[in-house]
Structure 1
Amino acid sequence: MDTIYWILIAAAFVIGFIGLVFPVIPSVLFIFGGILLYGFLLTFEPFNWVFWVIQILLVVLLFMADYVANMIGVKKYGGSRAAIWGSTIGILIGPFVIPGFGILIGPFIGAIIAEVIIHRTNLGTAVKIGVGSLIGFISSVFAKALIQLFMVGYFLFVVLL
């Protein structure tokens, strides 16, 4: 039975990492869910208060990483709050409209459309802001991947040692 439990825990972690490229999947919830699955299916014994504090802080950091990285990327290139929202909407819609490349094109186009329509920004400047949005998104994916790897690695360290 333990093998089936570990397969379920591993599946939760894998889905969490898939969520890095498909933002509709709440990756942080699957990573944390995998940890909780271990506790409910096997045991909570190896998890002390330090473990939970670290994991919860990392969950909060993951929630913030998307917004902060996107905001920094857009703001650095002169974008407005509208571009941040346009980029966020593009991240969510892009993969469904343009399968495969929508995850990259979505935030870029979303930021451009928001800047041009809402702030009447010229197209050249809007494209520059779109690039900033794309850089912010890619940065957030790398940051979240590192945080998630640390969460899973720390979990495995605590459980297996």
Structure 2
Amino acid sequence: MEWIGWIVAIIMFIIAFIGLVYPIIPSVLFIVAGFLLYGWIVSFDELSWLFWVIQILFVILLFVADSLANLVGVKKFGGSKAGMWGSTIGLLLGPFIIPVAGILLGPFIGAVLGEVVVTRSSFKQSLKSGIGSLVGFFTSVFAKGAIMLIMILIFILFVLL
């Protein structure tokens, strides 16, 4: 049964990493699902309370990193709250409206439109905000990917040691 537990956990982890670039997939839920399914299939004996405390702290860090990356990206390039909201809305809707390219174009277009429509910023300033949203997105993907990798490595250490 142990190999089945590993296969299921690995599948959950792969789906979580797909969620880094396809934000409709809640990455953190699939990471935690991998832990829980492994425990349910194999055993929770190796997954002590210390393991769960560490993982909860990393989940919190994951949410903070995700929020801050977009905020800092747009703000650093001179964007406003309208640009941040536009970027977030574009990130969620973009992949559905423009398949594949929407993951990058959605936040960019959303930030630009947010700035132009709501704050009446110049087109040049709105483009800067859009670029900031892209920088924030890539920073977020990198940060979340690194945190998720650490979470998985901790899981492996607790299970194997």
TM-score range, shorter chain: over 0.9
- Show the counterpart of 1:82: 82
| CA-to-aligned-CA distance 1:6-42 (integer Å, 9 cap, x gap) | 2211111110000001000000000011011111111
TM-superposed deviation, 1:48:
2.1
Could you list the structure 1 runs, at least 4 aligned residues long, displaced by more than 2 angstroms after superposition. Answer: 1-6
CA-atom RMSD in angstroms: 1.1
Instruction: Write out aligned runs for 1:57-72 (5 A).
Output: 57-72=57-72
TM-superposed deviation, 1:157:
1.2
Report the residue type matching 1:53 in the other structure.
V
Between stretches 131-140 and 74-83, larger displacement belongs to 74-83
Note if contact 2:70-2:137 (Cα within 8 Å) is conserved in structure 1.
yes
CA distance in 1, matches of 2:75, 2:94: 21
- Show the counterpart of 2:30: 30
| CA-to-aligned-CA distance 1:32-79 (integer Å, 9 cap, x gap) | 110111111111111222211110011111122221100001111111
- Whether 2:153 is the aligned partner of 1:153: answer yes
| CA-to-aligned-CA distance 1:108-139 (integer Å, 9 cap, x gap) | 11000001000001100000011011101100
Q: Structure 2 length normalisation: TM-score? A: 0.96
- Show the counterpart of 1:139: 139
Structure 2, unaligned runs of 5 or more: none
CA distance in 1, matches of 2:24, 2:160: 32
CA distance in 1, matches of 2:36, 2:17: 17
- Show the counterpart of 1:123: 123
Q: Structure 1 length normalisation: TM-score? A: 0.96
Identity percentage over the alignment? 57
Report the residue type matching 2:115 in the other structure.
E
